[in-house]
Amino acid sequence: MSSTASLSAQACALLDFEREAWTFEGSKELNIRTRLDMSPTKYYRVMSALIDQQAAFEYDPLTTMRLRKSRDERRRTRIEGRRVDRGHP
């Protein structure tokens, strides 16, 4: 089974959208609503789970790795920020 066959049409559409989102006019959130017909909250929740799937990586490795790296950096910033805050009165 190919990686595309193991991803739903919606999953492929989300990855395609994310890869091309920077080329769209207007805010990303507005484009999520109009092009994908879903709320930005749902989009980000679904994308977070999707980028952990091997099939997503096989379908679009560059986009998947970029999103994983961005998510990991945000997590690291939140954790390190908390550590720094605890040490100060």
- The pLDDT tens digits of the residues spanning 9-47 come to 999 999 999 999 999 999 999 999 999 999 999 999 999
With a pLDDT cut of 70, the percent of the chain lying above it is 85
pLDDT at 81: 79
* Distance (Å, whole) CA 42 – CA 48: 10
Q: What is the pLDDT of residue 84?
A: 53
**What pLDDT does residue 86 have?**
54
- How confident is residue 1, by pLDDT bands cut at 50, 70 and 90? very low
SS (H, E, C) the chain: CCHHHHCCHHHHHHHHHHHHHHHCCCCHHHHHHHHHCCCHHHHHHHHHHHCCCHHHHHHCHHHHHHHHHHHHHHHHHHHHHHHHHHCCC
pLDDT value at residue 31: 97
| CB contact set of 32 (below 8 Å; sequence gap of 6+) | 17, 38, 39, 40, 43
